[in-house]
Structure 1
């Protein structure tokens, strides 16, 4: 498979023509572009390893030839692909998979509504079963996805807040923000401030540990939420716990934990919070459910079925064997084994406990969205879907037949990171997804849309392709694997339309040509962050507001970026310098940051956005500039405008500093003021600085 080396691949590990052809037929890209003017070929070893994860043997030239012959014959003889998409609408167009069938082919379609049809025209939306029988007797079955042509645009323009929920503590929190705080924020922001939405971080279930990984973007499960977010006192059975002395002791510990964060400057300790809540929820679980509640719980168990049973079983087994299922006794590594079934029976009490927690959390998430809508929010809660799951967690165990063994998702080398990135998340196999009719993806979306007014999809480009990194290899030794973006988008649009929800794609960074256009055509909004919006194809200057796209959520910053105050003051450079993260001298970094900020401030001044700001006497220059930044966002045609909630009180610290692990307290900081003092939800509601910023936004 090796050939002579090149400037881009000096090791000579260049794929042969047969290997390249084999890779392409399985959706594996043979090159990537770190910049528009440069193409780098994937190595032969990387392609062979990625193909092996797809069960394709490519370890030798002979194996490659055999696999190539098999794949070419398979595709030439295939009557239907595993999944077929039809976009419905006033003038639906049938896909080539159907129009290209041999003349005389008979179709039989069993719709999910229980009907039987002989034509793919005018079908109801849903995922149906398609059978095609050719005149020569060949028969094939496929999943037929029928989805609306696009999602409707948001009804009018709205603004809202962006916040990491754990960071939003009230005087009722148990050491971190919870779903009660989320409902309070949404109710207040909607009724008093006219906000249209609140966007939060992923609330997916975490992998338990000592300590637990605090990142919400590397969860154990994306399908089920984390009960650490529960407001325990809002669980109906809590009031009837008999051991009140034990309850009082837990509340006293919760008070001390909350005060340590709010009054003493301690970091958010998720493990300590969960220790208290789990103890309280064990007491709550002992209170019998009333008939109505019992019936509702039974309905939830029936609706979630095997997925919930697997999820709860994993957590019960993790209590006994630890949180890495790959180190469990061999029989328990298979969720369908006799050993696992026997262990589930022995641990049924714990399985029921974790099933109950999933139900209680789902109920409070639903209540938060209901509160938001009742407060007048046209959107409500915007939830966040992480790009993947932890390799040791519940989803990776329960759905291992859908994940690529020995692979991790990441990013190739580019202008921002010459070494590439490995995110430590196992990717879904596109072939297994298609064969199943995208069952795990569909069920995931259905579950999230149950309590979401909109869904933000982290790294939405992953619907099109993902960079696979072989285990034990650097990110440079990876390859892009393509997904059926049309099917992924069709299911996304189908489930969002059923829920009446919006979809926001996080499309920052390197985006291959055509992706943003495809998303926009289906009604998926993008994400635009002020500091990145420049005329990159022209003079590189800040992009005028009228040239911004309309179909987006426009913000000044995100959880992975400096706060607006830190960027305006240059404190983000000082922070990176103090942690040894700069690649150039401090003076050079300061100068570049100052020049970048200066260009934006000049634009704001030229547009007259520094004048007439809210806040009255005593408003600082920093507040004036932050208000001007948001005035600029309102000059764009963006359909949604987001305020990073910490910006409203002058917070200097980023919630996450990429490139750090234990050097910086990522995902553990409460919302704070300019002096680093934690600010409660109650204080936010009475903050003159926040009110002044909101007045500016509402006036716009």
Structure 2
């Protein structure tokens, strides 16, 4: 049994935002070990290795907090004076340098509340001569509620192949899907998986939730033929050979049933793009590229440098020559100069991908979509990737994000993602977070925040330890939310928080207060504080994206037929005997079908009145979503053609082809984008969302109680040590 923290260690931990206990359920509290707390504090630069060190660190922290006038970052919700200023000594003088370049002397606390939106510099001088400085984030009180209701499609972009793509779905396919869905189906949005840059490897990790960089997109998604310079590649025979190879990759997936081979696709596209890079840019294109380089600045230079160095030394930067592990070293600068052609190549790829992402959003809006493309922000980055190299000062060394043990995963989870240091973020005015959001909002009509609870706290697991030997570290959620709301408001975008799984009290309320939508998945919307039965649609919350399933869950058809249980049994993933699992799954489905029948949603489904057919039941599930007051309703695109296979099966790695499957029909035959657009089954399902009738009620919110639990745990198809809570 590991020893719990002593009183002084617990006080020191609390002053640095480190929790010494957690609640896996509302009626149970677990104490973190002293060893875990000590290692987490060490990652924050606090020595707690011995009793005398604890006492010294505690005294230093208490003195620091006692003497400081301001926290590193102060939040001001527009129109309201910042609470952090209320405790200033009487007679303190305030000076503000605004983001817009204005200088305001002798500002009042009330005047601060009327400042323009932005991140300003605040200086306070107390009567005794003490001075305090802080970043002042002025954000709108809340994001506007999306006008009306919208419905749309959810898809993993790589899985959406057209007869023009090069072996996996690309940004040209995304633009085509958005244009068709907006004009033909009346859809309001298309939500995609994270399109962040991946860490190259042999093979490349196909998971979009463990990227090299969250700020820059992956050029593997480029539609090569849509790059203007591609038409001017002088070697027609070589271009023809590339297209022939691309056709073979595409046909292997769509016609021969092979898995998507991301590495083969990238190898081919890279060859084509290197030819493109030798085509001179025209004056207008050159000017646009230079503007992009200037706007992105050092962040792009660092990213492109990492990409160039990874080509020479491999993608694991901690194994590079020691001087190159520091992005600011003289040796790194020298290597950048020597590799300037490759640095420019990777910079141009980032520009081209940004252009096509922007074009996809433009196509969506031109098709009448009020939202357009909903992009996905992964919760973290790969420890060996470009962001972890370029922003080392902001990541906690020797730590990994995960989840503590709970009722759904007794061993806890380690996701293999280094966490941001809350103290360094606050000291910088959340500069890395601001830059990240601003980059994504360039081409997003809305942004889904994966594991949005991470804005409030994250479970840190010391390297080499089991996930049980971790501790929660708290972030300044108000500051994180203020930055999120500020950047979303500037972009005119909606924000959706993925708040599934175990959610601590107050999180959903705080998100709702600031206009951040939640996520509700039908199968988990039950009265968990009552009889556990399906939650009637009138009791669903309005401020959410409501769906029947996600990329980490069985398709609706698989759940209705019980095929998801058979799949998990074949892979040895069941924790109970097969018959018990079958019975439990059948009972769960039967309860939902009974609720659908009670509400009259099965009658006449599919146009033929056969309420017992699978297609009718899938339609009834979505009729139920329409009955809820949810502001956004998402349809998992594979549900439109009866696909049985999940895109990702939590708890597996090489046992299942996670992130490598094309959309397929009920028989497992791949379905190209052109076939999807002509699918009677998909059209009939989307017609359900256009049926007349109003949603029931205005949203019942969350059931009362302490910690809200939903049986939605598991891993994102990663090996042991890369699991995801509520993923």
**For the superposition of Structure 1 and Structure 2, which TM-score range results when normalised by the shorter chain?**
over 0.9
**Given the alignment, which residue of 442, 445, 448 partners 1:450?**
442
1:452-531 counterparts in 2 under 5 A?
A: 452-531=444-523
Instruction: Give the structure 2 partner of residue 431 of structure 1.
Output: 423
Question: Cα–Cα, structure 1 residues 405 and 549, in superposed 2: closer, same or farther, change >3 Å?
Answer: same
Question: 1:594 corresponds to which residue?
Answer: 586
Distance in 2 (CA, whole Å) between partners of 1:453 and 1:565 is 30
Q: Which residue of 2 aligns with 1:257?
A: 249
Deviations 1:313-370 (A, max 9, x none): 0000000000000000000000000010000000000000000000000000000000
Q: Does structure 1 retain, via aligned residues, the 8 Å contact 2:44–2:396?
A: yes
- When residues 12 and 355 of structure 1 are mapped into structure 2, their CA distance, relative to the original with a 3 A threshold, is closer
Taking the aligned partners of 1:670 and 1:595, their CA distance within structure 2 comes to 31
Q: 3-state DSSP class of the match of 2:652?
A: coil
| Aligned partner of 1:112 among 85, 91, 99 | 99
Map of 1:383 onto structure 2: 375
CA distance in 2, matches of 1:669, 1:117: 57
Q: TM-score when scaled to structure 2?
A: 0.94
| Structure 1 residue runs of 4 or more that deviate by more than 3 Å after TM superposition | 614-620
1:3 is aligned to none
Distance 1:572 1:289 in 2: 51
- Does the aligned pair in 2 maintain the 1:614–1:695 contact within 8 Å? no
- Residue pair 1:206, 1:219 contacting (<8 A) in 2 also: yes
Q: Which residue of 2 aligns with 1:230?
A: 222
Cα shift at 1:614: 3.3
Deviations 1:63-117 (A, max 9, x none): 11110000000000011110000000xxx33233212111111111000111112
Q: What are the equivalent positions in structure 2 for 1:2-151 lying under 5 Å apart? A: 11-88=1-78, 92-118=79-105, 119=107, 120-151=112-143
Q: Identify if the C-alpha distance between structure 1 residues 670 and 681 changes in structure 2 by more than 3 Å, giving closer, same or farther.
A: same
Q: Following the alignment from structure 2 to structure 1, what is the Cα–Cα distance between the partners of residues 2 and 687? A: 62
Task: Verify the 8 A CA contact 2:412 2:467 in the aligned structure 1.
Answer: yes
Query: Which residue is equivalent to 1:159?
Result: 151
Q: Does residue 671 of structure 1 match 2:658?
A: no
Is 1:430–1:484's contact at 8 Å kept on the other side of the alignment? yes
Give the match's secondary structure for 1:311: helix
Residue from 596, 611, 629 that aligns with 2:603: 611
Structure 1: gaps (5+ residues): 1-10
RMSD: 0.9
Residue deviations 1:379-428, cap 9 Å, x none? Answer: 00000000000000000000000000000000000010000000000000
Question: Any idea what SS the aligned residue of 2:458 has?
Answer: strand
Distance 1:669 1:629 in 2: 24
Q: Is the 8 A contact 2:220 2:265 kept in 1?
A: yes
Which residue number in structure 2 is paired with residue 573 of structure 1? 565
Q: TM-score, normalised by structure 1?
A: 0.97
Q: Give the aligned length.
A: 687
1:329 to 318, 321, 324: 321
Q: CA deviation at 1:618?
A: 8.7
* CA drift at 1:625: 0.1
Mark the runs of 5 or more structure 2 residues left unpaired by the alignment: 693-727
The CA distance in 2 between the partners of 1:577 and 1:541, in whole Å, is 26
**In the alignment, which residue of structure 1 is the partner of 2:302?**
310
Q: How does 1:233-244 map to 2 (within 5 A)?
A: 233-244=225-236
Kindly indicate whether the alpha-carbon contact (under 8 Å) linking 2:316 and 2:385 is maintained by their aligned counterparts in 1.
yes
